[in-house]
Chains A and B, each alone.
Chain A
Amino acid sequence: MKHILTTIFSLFILIAFSQETVYPAKEQKETIALTNATIHIGNGQVIENGMIIFSKGKIVDVRPTANIADIKIIDCKGSHIYPGLITSQTDLGLNEISAVRAVLDKRELGEINANVRSIVAYNTDSKIIGTLRSNGILLANIVPQGGILSGSSSVVQLDAWNWEDALYKADAGIHFRMPNLVARRMWFRQATQTNPMQAALDRIEKLRQFFYDAKAYYAIEKPEHTNIKFEAVRGLFTEIDAYPYLNWKGVKKQLRPQQNFYIHAETVKEIQIGVAFAKEFQFKPVIVGGADSWMITNYLKDNDVAVILNQMHSLPITQDDDIDQPYKTPYLLQQAGVLFAIGDVDENSRGRNLLFNAGTAVTYGLTKEQALQAITFSAAKILGIDAQTGTLEKGKDANIVVSTGDILDMKSSNVIHAFIQGREVSLDNKQKQLYERYKYKYGIK
């Protein structure tokens, strides 16, 4: 009897929680060509009936399909090929189950958490990751929360054994949480704040002091006491080669700050105060949220500020707003020439609808290629990883998704292959396994 129980139990483990048998893929050994597909480069270009060849993790060629010898060919006839999708802001791997404190690692205590690093808590074994990967999302920017300065985010690829393995770009941005400037409903209470503006300005002033002190600290070559908070934000003040992998012949090198300054802000005033703050220290500002960014597109463009719209599936801010306002915000930014990415921080579907947020933007004005760009190339540019990925161009990492139909429309979105750095990754996940288990129970084919 005991024996039977043990067998059943082990079977249960195997089947119900067998995600542990979903392995990260091994390094790409053989050169692969995906052929006969519609290739969406990610920069607006589309190649009908194209092929893409990649080797040792890098894209070697993208061109119309032609006969080719000696390499592995995967015929993708009728399918669409896309760059691996990128989710620009997420708590993936830091938040396994939102309501369970034990599995939450997204928000640290403290006000100025400059030195907090999301990457070290990123759990590559999270059951959520597989549900994103199987929808074509292959890269993610893992963002910490809490305080006015939350710490640094890192970009990861979503098929890894551990966080070091997953790392795509480390500590590439510092996150500034703009305090609310307008009275909002307080959590669990009907009351609202009394003077949110002043409270916000007071908090910002302390942060300003922090950065002035940091600058002063950097002026000393060997400080007596090392301040780990100041050390953690040096990258905001440091410029690096924007495209280190490219060979610049006679072209002036492009520089960019080592770390982005992400400003989590929604209203016009919040955005403007945040951008002014960044300018004061010559940081590279990126607005995250940006619900009202459509109202000041000229300002954003003039100041070269990019926007990550991370909650497009939102209700309008006020009851008088255009009822489709959040849906059409991408179109308004696109029209004005503001660089933007679309994100998905939905806490219920857990971020797997990134592609459908982009699809909604198509319904409300963008072209499909523009919408795709907002979750590939533009996202890569904003995150500072466009030299490696974001488009299907020669020399870039072979981060590739193949869908049998239009990936942005749930009616046809069906990912059949995905490659990260040339490795064909598993599209299995816990949900598919439970699906199989119960199809088996009920004899569903």
Chain B
Amino acid sequence: MIQKLKLLLLSLFFVANLYAQETYPVNGTTDNRLEVYAFTNATIIQNAQSTLQNATLVIKQGKISGINIPVPKEAVVIDCKGKFIYPSFIDLYSGYGIAMPTNASPTMFFGARQQQFVSNTKGAYNWNQAIKPEINAFQNFQQNETLAKSLRAIGFGTVVSHAQDGIARGTGALVTLGNEKENFELVKEKVATFYSFSKGSSTQDYPGSLMGTIALIRQTYLDAQWYKSNPATEGTNISLQAWNDNLVLPQIFDIGNDKYNALRADKIAKEFGANYILKGTTDLYQRLKEVKETNAAIILPLNFPAPMDVEDPNDARIVALADMKHWEMAPYQPAMFEKANISFALTSSGLGSVNDFLTNLRKAIHNGLSETTALDALTRIPATWINVYDKVGSLEEGKLANFFITNHTIFSDSASIFQNWVQGKKYIVKETGWDNYNGQYIFTINTKGTTHFFEATIKGNTEKPVLTLKPYEDTLSFNPTLTLNNQLVKISWSNKADKGKQNNLSGIIDSDAWAGNGYLANGDVVTWKLYAKKELENNTKANNHFTKQKDTATITIADVVYPFNGYGWKEAPKQEKILIRNVTVWTNEKQGILQNTDVIINKGKIERIGKNIPITLDLSWKIIDGTGKHLTAGIIDEHSHIAITGGVNECTQAVTSEVRIADVISPEDINIYRQLSGGVTSSHLLHGSCNPVGGQSQLIKLRWGKSAEEMKFEGADGFIKFALGENVKSTRNSSNNRYPDTRMGVEQVYMDAFQRAVDYQKLPANKRRDLELDALSEILNKKRFITCHSYVQSEITMLMRVADKFGFTVNTFTHILEGYKVADKMKKHSSYVSTFSDWWAYKMEVQDAIAYNAAIMQKTGLTVAINSDDPEMARRLNQEAAKTIKYGEVNEEEALKMVTLNPAKMLHVDKRVGSIKVGKDADVVLWSEHPLSIYAKSLYTIIDGIIYYDREKDTEQRKQIALEKARLIQKLLIEKKKPANTGRMQAARPRIDEINECEEDHKHNHSIFEREDEF
């Protein structure tokens, strides 16, 4: 029985596939065909550069024989008069025909999640489940007619398909979109290899953050390099072998949803000599300059955002201006890329419905993208990048017969694709409208032996032609409804005189006439016929296939601002020559506070400090009257988590010194600007506190509008975050399985890590480079410095003793709420301390925290900073410093130093910033009042002599935001009324910004969208 079933299935299979392979036995009789076709009288677009009129395309057995060659006598001739033939499109980024792995559920223990430390994949593979370069799409490819059909309908003929899962995703195969046996559709096995920043279906915990992902990619490059030496300690690692093997292929990197990931991927590429083709986003235009500088080839998606429904003003309120602007600007991106001369291909990937592809492509063209570039980006460019232009991408002899036939130029709104030929096989997309019936006819109706004659005209769109009938004996004409469905035709009309009663005819179109039968409204049974009088001149003549390129210069679009949000700069502020007159200067130097003093800022530095400085003023000076105002050094936040994306914690291992905040800086965080308004000029961006050895931190200057790289505090020493206590022992996880679980284990994590680093340094040069141990070695060699999240006295002392044993110093204890209990020990160890002013009682280990901590530590001779660890409070750090006056009577100048000079010292940048001294960086704040008063506001916040915050300009900017938002709301309201957008509008949604803190148990209610939901 089973045998019979199998046979039945097999035979069905072979019937469906005419082109059985030679090696396959035939069940039945053979059916070999010549497969020679000639497409005549067509407009043939050979490639973006060459269009041939009235031309003939000849194909034979799936390949192109030539264009305008003599038609072989064995050819089936297809008249393509009025038709256009295009090389079919190529999509480099597709998951076509590759089954996605289902997401396995994570390991659970009594209902609580347990960490998974190594890969669950069985076999001789890599330790990390998301690294699977050994996956080859060609081995898993299965023809999928439903998907193929939808892609053929929008002009695609060839795609590169890969398993879109994991960080290293293996190789992609070049396949065509026919429904033949896979053996025929699979054109080339390995044409590219793929990577991403998403771990996909991997159930392993590591990496748990973007910076962890980047670290993993780096380490894998190093491991693969090392694996080439066949290290005995590794055995066989199929994944690393495949990684190395794949390096010869074109490398395609999916950057995900964050435009800045383009720059992150590029950084990795440059580091390891790779050359990535970046699969991009719709908002790369927002950082076009940096994207161009990567010199990377880009695959651009066309999934432009749908308009948002902002009819309700309360909905409009929560939608970010940036999202509205992006909706407006995204369709301009391809044109901007063209103008910027960046090489790009287009992909259908990411669209909610592939049917939007042509609509959006045409939108891009309407917004300035030239048709030639568009066609290139869908044919020659992608083919060239993956070295298959000898096979696909244009209509030339010897290439695959992959092309589609349309009635207009594909970029015009009225164009329809009728047929999409894949490897010489016809796939009908649409039958109706292929034939052009436009012309003048005679129409007859025969009823009860009488024939009525009409003059008939058919014109208009070939898919929905309009029929006009005029009785011979009458002058009034009318337009019956004409419905065509391939060869079938329906004609109906109603007469007013007959009170709208309908006359219905139906029939069939044959080679010389249309004929059929029907009922008239009065019940008469009729026959009818329509035959040609003479054909109208075909007006679909196209002399030059491509319409004239639009002048992109005349297109007006909203401004790209930096960064891309309400408070971004249209024009970035510049370095100025600034004179601040008659101001009270808090120098933080021996001179103390200087009254009625002038300060000159020039070339980004403090140039001069003095009273009544005589200078010849000209227009190049910016003069600020400082009368009654106070000038201080810019505030430095020793402990911040703003401007970080993709997670601030890599909690998945106890030691993650390989991860780097430097990799994941987000210059777009509005909190940068907000904190500038509170006088902050530098922030130390830290890894979180969930593991004993966290990641490497990054000091930045709040250069609002600049790129991530430009924000970095140049030349600053490297730091790393350590953490102690409740967080690192996973207190909040009731079924923790990650070592350590106690403060006893925390010590041993350090002992082990540093011992490994000591031993690692002794290994020979050909050792496996370990980024984790590299960072720890830097600490041992005093090249990298620790800032350690710490609360209770026992653990503080413990870490100092570990450091003593390994011969280094714990540079900074941060938070350090019980620091007052061991101030003398820290002093002896030469640590710096950075604390909160008055936080306490949010967790067990801070029940002894006191607001007098800073004062006690300061009075025992420690260098004390006050930090924020909180994007809201960071705007008021001067006030937090002032609290040390209330709690512990700290001297005012010393209090101010706690947020300026002291953090500069502990971050080793006090030679550059932290005080007002000639030659230092011009990072200063002009306050409206005494800087330690709650009533003080920053009027100007200056970094490198550039005014990044100006309270007056800020007021102006708010008006601009309101105006721009109002304009876009009106535009969106118009969109909503368009019939085409029915059902396409997306609901208004807030921009939920990523807000990070080092631990989850001292959450601030930042704004309502961040708050915990009550459910």
Contact = CB atoms under 8 A, between A and B. Distances in A.
A313 B1007 contact: no
B824 interface: yes
Interface string B887-904: 010001000000000000
Interface in B999-1015: 1000-1015
A435 B838 contact: no
B954 interface: yes
A184 B1005 CA distance: 13
Contacts of B879: 356, 410
B211 interface: no
Given A99-B732, A291-B1008, A410-B883, A318 B935 contact: no
B579 interface: no
B991 A179 contact: no
Given A179-B1014, A323-B677, 18 more contacts: A99-B1001, A131-B851, A177-B1014, A184-B1011, A187-B1013, A295-B317, A315-B1006, A318-B1007, A320-B322, A345-B1005, A347-B1005, A348-B839, A348-B840, A350-B840, A363-B937, A409-B933, A413-B886, A435-B856
Contacts of A319: 320-322, 565-567, 670, 991, 993
B56 to A, nearest CB: 56
A4 B635 CA distance: 49
Interface of B: 314, 317-318, 320-322, 565-567, 670-671, 673-674, 677, 726, 731-732, 820-821, 823-824, 836, 838-844, 847-848, 850-852, 855-856, 859-860, 870-873, 876, 879, 882-883, 885-886, 888, 892, 930, 932-937, 954, 958, 961, 965, 989-993, 1000-1015
Given A348-B836, A348-B839, A431-B852, A410 B882 contact: yes
B407 to A, nearest CB: 42
A220 interface: no
Chain A contact surface mostly? loop
Interface string A342-362: 000111111011001001101
Interface stretch (A67-75, A262-270, A297-305): A262-270
A314 B1007 contact: yes
Residue picked from B671, B726, B840, B936, most chain A C-beta under 10 Å: B840
10 contacts: A97-B841, A99-B732, A128-B841, A131-B851, A311-B1005, A313-B872, A314-B1006, A315-B1006, A317-B318, A318-B320
Contact of A435 (B852, B965, B1004): B852
Contact of B850 (A323, A345, A350, A435): A435
Contacts of A188: 1000
A414 interface: yes
B314 A362 contact: no
Given A184-B1008, A266-B1008, A318-B320, A411 B841 contact: no
Closest 6 CB pairs between A and B?
A99-B843, A320-B566, A435-B852, A431-B850, A359-B934, A319-B670
Interface stretch (A112-120, A253-261, A331-339, A437-445): A437-445
Contact of B317 (A318, A359, A360): A318
Given A350-B841, A435-B856, A317 B1008 contact: yes
Given A315-B674, A315-B871, A318-B991, A442 B860 contact: yes
B859 A444 contact: yes
A324 B949 CA distance: 13
A362 B1009 contact: no
Interface in A133-191: 146, 177, 179-180, 182-188
A231 interface: no
Contacts of B993: 319
Contacts of B965: 320
Nearest to A322: B958
Given A127-B841, A315-B671, A318-B320, A439 B856 contact: yes
Given A184-B1009, A347-B1004, A410-B883, A320 B934 contact: no
A137 B671 CA distance: 32
B838 A349 contact: yes
Given A182-B1009, A320-B961, A363-B934, A267 B314 contact: yes
A442 B888 CA distance: 14
Interface string A225-240: 0000000000000000
Interface residues of A, number: 68
B844 A409 contact: no
Contacts of B932: 411
A322 B992 CA distance: 17
Given A183-B990, A268-B314, A319-B670, A362 B935 contact: yes
Contacts of B1011: 184
Given A187-B1013, A269-B314, A318-B320, A411 B1007 contact: no
B847 A97 contact: yes
A18 interface: no
A438 B862 CA distance: 15
B197 to A, nearest CB: 15
Contacts of B671: 315
A99 B935 CA distance: 34
B990 A182 contact: yes
Nearest to B991: A319
Nearest to A99: B843
Contacts of B1015: 186
Contacts of B842: 97-99, 347-348, 350
Nearest to A186: B1013
Nearest to A195: B987
Contact of A291 (B677, B935, B958, B1007): B1007
Contact of A438 (B851, B856, B936, B1006): B856
A266 to B, nearest CB: 5
A177 B883 CA distance: 34
B318 A100 contact: no
Contacts of A187: 1012-1013
A45 interface: no
A411 B887 CA distance: 10
Nearest to A268: B314
Contacts of B838: 349, 352-353
A315 B933 CA distance: 21
A318 B934 contact: no
A411 B882 contact: yes
A99 B673 CA distance: 32
Nearest to A126: B841
A408 interface: yes
Contacts of B841: 96-98, 127-128, 350
Contacts of B820: 434, 438
Contacts of B1004: 314, 346-348
B872 A414 contact: no
Nearest to B850: A431
A192 interface: yes
B361 to A, nearest CB: 31
A7 interface: no
A193 interface: yes
Contacts of A186: 1013, 1015
B1013 A180 contact: yes
Residue picked from B317, B821, B839, B883, most chain A C-beta under 10 Å: B317
Nearest to A295: B317
A67 B502 CA distance: 109
A187 B387 CA distance: 48
A347 B1013 contact: no
A395 interface: no
A316 B1010 CA distance: 11
A373 to B, nearest CB: 17
Contacts of A410: 879, 882-883, 885-886, 934
Given A97-B841, A291-B1007, A318-B318, A442 B1014 contact: no
Interface string A419-433: 000000000001110
Contacts of B839: 348-349
Contacts of B961: 320
Given A185-B1009, A348-B1004, A442-B824, A434 B320 contact: no
Contacts of A409: 882, 933-935
